[in-house]
Amino acid sequence: QPPLVESGGGLVQSGESVRLSCAASGFNSAYYVIAWFRQVPGKEREGVSCISRDDGMTTYADSVKGRFSISRDNAKNTVYLQMNSLKPEDTAVYSCAAETWVLCDDYDHTMFGTWGQGTQVTVSS
């Protein structure tokens, strides 16, 4: 079982909502900073949202602020990304990542050591 498994992606229409799940296995994700990233071919991986391990602080990329929401369910060892008012430019492979020491107000993909395999989200116009 991979340490992180994403699910919930798919094809949706512009304006619709999707909830992605990031299920951790083999470790307690409550002790980790979890971030969601997205990537489209030919572009750098972009940090979308992050949730801290201690105080539950959350941060969002400007492009998704007000539309996306990250949350934890420690009982299920899972982190969610609720994506509302989706736009075609949100189309990407979304991946979650875990790390213990990262700060959610200053992070990038190179800081994370544990990754899921990613899930495709496609938003049609």
CA angle 24, 29, 34 (to 5 degrees): 95
Is pLDDT at 102 greater than 90 in this prediction? yes
Q: What tokens were used for 32?
A: 């980790």
> Which percentage of the chain shows pLDDT scores above 70?
100
**What rounded mean pLDDT belongs to the chain?**
97
pLDDT of residue 11: 98
Is pLDDT at 95 greater than 90 in this prediction? yes
| Range of weakest confidence among 12-21, 31-40, 49-58, 89-98 | 49-58
- Strand 119-124 and strand 92-99: the pairing is antiparallel
For 42-55, what is the HEC assignment? CCCCEEEEEECCCC
Is pLDDT at 124 greater than 90 in this prediction? yes
Is pLDDT at 99 greater than 90 in this prediction? yes
What mean pLDDT do residues 98-113 have? 96
Q: Give 38-81 pLDDT, tens digit per residue.
A: 999 999 999 999 999 988 899 999 999 999 999 999 999 999 99
